[in-house]
C-alpha cells in the first residue's frame, strides 16, 4: 500500500470515530435536557377540557366499581399501586371501596402535580352522592391520583388518603 492510501484510510477512520463520538455526546446531552423538563410544580387545574377528561375517567372508574367489573377495574388501576398492595381479584374491593349502584361521583377539584413527555399526573378530590329519584345525599369525598398518558391515550387511577392529598396540595400554597 502506498503512503497516500494509508493516509486516506487513517482520515476515514478518524472521521468515523469523530462522528461516533459526536453522536454519543448528542444523545447524552439530549437525555440531560429531557430530565430537566420534568415539571413537578403543583398548580390548580384551569383547563376545562382536561377537567372533563379527568371527570370522565373517574366516572368510568366508579361505573366499574359499582358494577363489580373487577377485570376492567384492574385495567384502570395504576399498576404500581396494584403491585405495591398485592391487589388481586379477591381483595380488590378492600382497596377501591364497595359502593352501591346509585352512588354518583363528580370531580370537585384537581391539581396538576407533574408532567413529562405527555404524561400528566393530577391529584383530585371527588364528591360522592347517593342519589335516589327525589334526593341526593352527600356521602363524602374520595381522593385519587389520576395519570393521563396522551401517548397511549390511556389513564390510570390510584386511590389515596385525604392526608396524602392535603399534604401534596398544601405544597402549592407554600
pLDDT in tens, 10-34: 888 888 888 888 888 787 776 655 5
| 134 DSSP assignment | S
Q: Is the predicted pLDDT of residue 1 greater than 70, yes or no? A: no
Backbone angles phi, psi at 56, to 5 degrees: -65, -40
Judged by average pLDDT, the poorest of 26-30, 116-120, 167-171 is 26-30
Q: How many CB atoms lie within 10 A of CB 57?
A: 22
pTM surpassing 0.85?
A: no
3-state SS assignment for residue 148: strand
Task: Please list the alpha-helical segments (H only) found in the chain.
Answer: 3-36, 48-66, 70-76, 79-84, 92-96, 162-173
Measured distance CA(153)–CA(151) in Å, rounded:
6
Measured distance CA(78)–CA(159) in Å, rounded:
9
- pLDDT tens-digit map of 121-138: 999 999 999 888 888 888
Provide the β-strand partners of residue 154: 149
The helix (H) or strand (E) run that includes residue 65 is helix 48-66
In the numeric block, which cell numbers belong to residue 18? 469523530
Measured distance CA(126)–CA(80) in Å, rounded:
22
Judge whether 122 and 42 are in contact, CB under 8 Å: no
Amino acid at each position: 500500500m502506498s503512503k497516500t492510501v494509508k493516509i486516506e484510510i487513517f482520515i476515514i477512520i478518524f472521521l468515523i470515530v469523530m462522528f461516533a463520538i459526536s453522536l454519543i455526546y448528542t444523545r447524552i446531552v439530549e437525555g440531560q435536557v429531557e430530565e430537566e423538563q420534568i415539571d413537578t410544580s403543583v398548580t390548580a387545574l384551569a383547563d376545562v377540557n382536561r377537567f372533563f377528561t379527568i371527570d370522565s375517567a373517574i366516572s368510568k372508574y366508579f361505573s366499574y366499581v359499582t358494577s363489580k367489573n373487577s377485570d376492567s377495574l384492574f385495567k384502570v388501576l395504576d399498576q404500581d399501586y396494584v403491585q405495591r398492595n398485592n391487589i388481586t381479584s379477591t381483595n380488590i374491593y378492600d382497596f377501591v371501596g364497595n359502593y352501591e349502584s346509585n352512588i354518583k361521583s363528580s370531580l370537585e377539584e384537581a391539581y396538576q402535580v407533574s408532567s413529562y413527555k405527555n404524561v400528566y399526573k393530577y391529584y383530585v378530590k371527588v364528591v360522592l352522592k347517593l342519589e335516589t329519584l327525589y334526593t341526593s345525599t352527600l356521602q363524602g369525598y374520595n381522593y385519587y391520583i389520576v395519570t393521563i398518558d396522551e401517548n397511549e391515550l390511556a389513564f390510570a387511577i390510584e386511590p389515596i388518603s385525604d392526608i396524602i392529598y392535603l399534604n401534596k396540595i398544601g405544597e402549592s400554597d407554600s
